[in-house]
A = this chain, B = another copy of it.
Amino acid sequence: MISSDVIRGYNDTIILYLLLDNDSYGYEISKKIKNLSDEKYVIKETTLYSAFNRLMKNNYIESFYKDETFGKRRTYYRITQAGIDYYKEKCKEWELTKEVINRFVKEEY
């Protein structure tokens, strides 16, 4: 299991990644994170929804409703151009971060 302090800087990035190709909503995204990570990372509900709020505030995503006649109403999210740009930046940062932390971690351990 991965500790939350590590992933902290990448929750937003992970969510944006999952919105790149398809609009989606909270529950679906949390399932996708779980599956894509082979259950190694399971995002907490509150963490997920507070990330949505933050991403909305920064205009990295937009919300909308699909017209559905039944079921609890879902809030769908769509990534914006600013969100795509931010995602790209974070991808670059990640490569750098890996390099740097690798210098302080011994692989043989």
Contact = CB atoms under 8 A, between A and B. Distances in A.
B96 A13 contact: no
A21 to B, nearest CB: 11
Contacts of A13: 104-105
Given A17-B104, A17-B105, A97 B36 contact: no
A95 interface: yes
A9 B6 CA distance: 4
Nearest to A92: B109
Interface residues of A, number: 37
Contact residues of A: prevailing secondary structure = helix
Contact of A93 (B2, B87, B94, B99): B2
Interface of A: 2-10, 13-14, 17-18, 36-37, 40-41, 87-88, 90-101, 103-107, 109
Contact of A5 (B8, B94, B107): B8
Contacts of A99: 40
Please provide the 4 A-B residue pairs with the shortest distance between their CB atoms, ordered closest to farther.
Answer: A6-B9, A5-B9, A91-B109, A17-B104
